[in-house]
Structure 1
Amino acid sequence: MNKNRDKRIEIAVWIVTSFLLIVFIPKNKIREAQVSFLFKQLLTWIFGLIVVERNLITYPTRTFFSKSNKSSFTFEYFVYPSLCALFNTHYPYHKNLGFKFLYFFLHSAGITITEAVLEKYTSLIKYNKWHWHWTFITIWLTYYTSHLYNKWFYRRN
């Protein structure tokens, strides 16, 4: 695999994710986005370290903090929490249950598909004893947990 290409991809992911946060987080929901971001960071820190330490996933090419721990700083501590902040700030509270289910499904599936493509074509992530469906399940569960926390924190019904 081409490490320079992988590093360019990782830097591009930072730029695109930052752009998404700046453009799609409304000013009146910045605090809500911060709460979602930090809570998701807590969850991904725990799950990410467990998965990496059990050698289920490895991150062969890491641009940032490659010597601090074995997980990916970019994906575990910035991208997933950022996407979760976007997820929660745009959550369709006033839609029907089917639409809410679809919202969860599309967000989880989008991340899972992107990760599977990166796993297949780059050295940014490698599945050792892991499968895409575990990614989908953990993303769904952490999004749901984050959503419940967000509802509780802001006292929403």
Structure 2
Amino acid sequence: MYRYLSEVALLKRDKMILYTIWFFTVGLLLTFVPKHRIRQALLAYFFKQSMTWLFGLLVVENRFIIYPVRLFKKVNKSSFSYEYFFYPSFCALFNLYYPEKKPFWIRALYNIFYTGLLTGIEVLAEKYTNLIKYVNWRWYWSFLSIGLTNYASHLFYRWFFKEE
């Protein structure tokens, strides 16, 4: 009986974390995406979402990662909250504030910071919650894939808006 109650409490805690992440991310977007740059943010958001849709499904379907607690369980086995909202939202902010005219080392640190922040959040979630569980996965694969997709999204963003 006690184990069942603790599992219910953990499930409620994890769902509350997901709701908090949604609320926090919406707040970040409303605060840091200026009205005159919504178009640019949406492009970065949707481009990243298309990449995370493909890579996220490959990782989940091959059982490298599982998401035991999800808000939309009937959609697919990946985390809708992370793959389709949280991660692309941070990529939109990444692109809007990318230090384009700064030296290479500042741009590299900027990418490492964003990549490290998202990887760190994922590692903490894997260790302390049931939101994500690594099966045949390691944190450095997340770091590498996030860093590369951030860079790819910025190349696309820069190409798309080169005339402006």
**Structure 1 length-normalised TM:** 0.97
Report the Cα offset of residue 156 of structure 1: 6.4
CA deviation string 1:93-140 (max 9, x = no partner) = 111100000000000000001100000000000000000000000000
Aligned to 1:100: 107
- Structure 2 residue matching 1:55: 3-state secondary structure: coil
Aligned to 1:118: 125
Aligned to 2:4: none
Distance in 2 between residues matched to 1:17 and 1:3, nearest whole Å:
21
- Structure 1 residue matching 2:158: 3-state secondary structure: helix
Computed over aligned residues only, the root mean square deviation of the Cα atoms, in angstroms, reads 1.1
Larger Rg: 2
Aligned to 2:153: 146
Percent of matched pairs sharing the same residue:
48
Match of 2:21 among 13, 31, 51: 13
CA deviation string 1:26-82 (max 9, x = no partner) = 11111000000000000000000000000000000001x211210000000000000
Structure 1 residues 51, 156: CA separation in 2 closer, same or farther (over 3 Å shift)?
farther
- Structure 2 unaligned spans of 5+: 1-6
Aligned to 2:73: 66
Structure 1 residue 129 corresponds to structure 2 residue 122: no
Distance in 1 between residues matched to 2:101 and 2:74, nearest whole Å:
45
- Structure 1 unaligned spans of 5+: none
